[in-house]
Chains A and B, each alone.
Chain A
Amino acid sequence: MILSLDRSRIFVLVLLAALALLPIVATLGGEEFYIGQFRRILIFAIAAISLDLILGYGGMVSLGHAAFVGVGAYVVAILVHHANEETLFLGFIPGTFEPLITWPLAMLVAGAFAFVIGLISLRTSGVYFIMITLAFAQMVYYVFVSWRTYGGDDGLRFRGGDTLAGFIDLGDDLTFYYVVFAVLLAVLYLGRRLVKSRFGRVIEGCRENERRMRALGFPSYRYKLAAFTIAGAVAGLAGGLFATHEAYISPSIMHWTRSGDLIIMVILGGMGTLYGPLVGAVVFMLMEKFLPDYTQHWQIVFGPVLVLIVLFARRGVFGWVLPARAGGRGHG
């Protein structure tokens, strides 16, 4: 089974190998510009994968996922900001530059946000769930828009926070790329373990038929809440990486249309597949980056294309290489 090389497995291996080799090829070709570009893409891929956990596997249409990315990003930004200023956050928490502290904290805080938001949101379902996740994301958005200490609407620019474990220089494009790539691999591996586990099966069961899962004795609410929290924490990690990548953060990262972008990445690549969102993030962000070079108005084409994808190609790019049965989605 492990050695069986079906089409999807080959596809994934080729994709990951290409991503692993990309910086080397780019450096040899003198196009270092692409390294930073793809690092950004990989970071968003992590966020999209985290969304896939609840959207694809759990069937929870959350329209507020960008808020967790934003919270994670602000955790890193605020800690580094205070380390620079040598002041205390809220008067008692010292800042720090160390990503080994800031990134896990970004996960922790974003996970805590996801837990509280999930606690209330998951009581509802359907349209109400979509709307309440959106509403909570807007709340978080406006908190940061009005929080003048950290730049408010203008955002927060900061220096430092790019030396990992005291000796790994993230300021170096190549090094930081491979750090992000390693995080992505870890997220993919652990994500895969998670969805193949009993826990993952229960989550999928809740997507297909929640009432039946409850009748079988599974406390579906708690399972879904756990999944929602994990997804939020991973999104927070992506946010933390993003803050370090940009050395700048503004509330626009968590505008509700950003959550829409994340959903697009998941669907474009193929939801409920984990690798799909990675493909989707690559495709979407390359389009976002390079199509404006050809026409400034690429969205007038992309919008209808999105409608067509929904109508005719629901399985996404990754769905094409998958065997017909696996990785499909539920009808819930």
Chain B
Amino acid sequence: MPLLLFLEQTLNGLQFGVTLFLMAAGLTLVLGIMNMVNLAHGAFYMLGAYFAATLVPITGSFFMSVVLALAGAAAVGLLTEMVALRTLYSRDHLDQVLATFGLILFFRELVKIVWGPIAIFMDVPDLFSGRVEIVPGAPYPVYRLLVLAVGVTVGGFLWWLITRTRLGMLIRAGASNREMVGALGVDIKRLYTLVFALGCALAALAGVMAGPLYVVDIGMGDDILIKTFVVIVIGGIGSVRGAFVAAIIVGMVDTFGRILPSQFGLSATIAELAIYILMAAVLFWKPRGLFPAAG
């Protein structure tokens, strides 16, 4: 493989990796702390993209739209958590799978009613529409670099939030022993709601960033949701650090998986297999993922 193509694909892989991380960070916290399987996480990815796609023409500002879309998705997440999910934390995984599957149906249909069944295209904001030559002779889209930067920044922010703040301390404590944290006088319900809303905002951010790169449609959340679960399981449920490492690995494997087969004359869709084989292999040797969370 030529070196330039290799470099370009590495950047693509990293960029897809951080998108996956934005999705996975919220989901792994919800799963790890609340022991809650949330299939509806992809819905917030979808909602974020739809919100932004609608807001950009209205506000005329990409940045404003992103902020509003995140706030909107977080608000919907807040409402969903309080109305439907809160009672599910103490239920078994099957109930959670089923109920959140019901939420998927609800949100998909809602989006279909509001925005119609046809896919929407979102333009790359003008400011980031150009290309830069990081390496001479290989122009690379600025927008993809922006996604990468946003992902890394958010990753840093989360690391700071979880390891350096009081809120993060409570989150970690909640993951280890939620009864004890509750007994010590922390309003664990509010903490959960907060974490859930944060996860929704992160998923929406991933959706917004992905909007201009792919296409905004009803099914967009389903596909990435499964890949997000792969990331979480490989990384170890509840571990944000694991989610980051696994997201980058999966992003890379997925991207190069698409390129390599065509170099050897195979169909590109066979690459979809690669990440699932990777996950099965990881679980075979480490049934609790690469970074099993303590507790």
Contacts and interface: CB of A to CB of B under 8 A. Distances in A.
B269 A142 contact: yes
Contact of B230 (A131, A305, A311): A131
Given A132-B233, A135-B276, A310-B98, A300 B267 contact: no
B92 A331 contact: yes
Interface string A123-167: 110111011101110110011011010001000000000000000
Contacts, number: 131
A45 to B, nearest CB: 18
Nearest to B225: A256
B101 interface: yes
B189 interface: no
B241 interface: no
B273 interface: yes
Interface stretch (B7-15, B46-54, B277-285): B277-285
Interface string B82-113: 00100110011111011101111111111011
A123 B233 CA distance: 14
A178 B30 CA distance: 48
B283 A297 contact: no
A302 B98 CA distance: 12
B288 interface: yes
A306 B229 contact: no
B242 to A, nearest CB: 13
Interface string A158-198: 00000000000000000000000000000000000000000
The interface size bin for chain B is 35 or more
Nearest to B100: A307
A299 interface: yes
A84 to B, nearest CB: 24
A55 interface: yes
A297 B105 contact: no
Contacts of B108: 299
Contact of B87 (A61, A139, A311): A311
B31 interface: yes
A142 B103 contact: no
A64 to B, nearest CB: 11
A135 B278 CA distance: 10
A55 B109 CA distance: 28
A47 to B, nearest CB: 17
A123 B283 contact: yes
B93 A307 contact: no
Contacts of B99: 306-307, 310-311
Given A55-B94, A123-B284, A299-B106, A134 B101 contact: no
A29 interface: no
B272 interface: yes
A307 B84 CA distance: 7
Given A267-B98, A300-B113, A304-B106, A128 B226 contact: no
Interface of A: 55, 61, 63, 120, 123-124, 126-128, 130-132, 134-136, 138-139, 142-143, 145-146, 148, 152, 256-257, 260, 263-264, 267, 297, 299-300, 302-307, 309-311, 314, 331-332
16 contacts: A61-B93, A128-B283, A132-B279, A135-B279, A139-B276, A139-B277, A145-B272, A257-B222, A263-B94, A300-B110, A300-B113, A303-B103, A306-B105, A307-B99, A311-B88, A331-B92
Interface of B: 31, 37, 39, 84, 87-88, 91-95, 97-99, 101-110, 112-113, 222, 226, 229-230, 232-233, 237, 267, 269-270, 272-273, 276-277, 279-280, 283-284, 287-289
- Sorted nearest first, the 9 A-B pairs with minimum C-beta distance are A306-B102, A303-B106, A303-B105, A146-B269, A300-B109, A142-B272, A299-B109, A310-B99, A303-B102
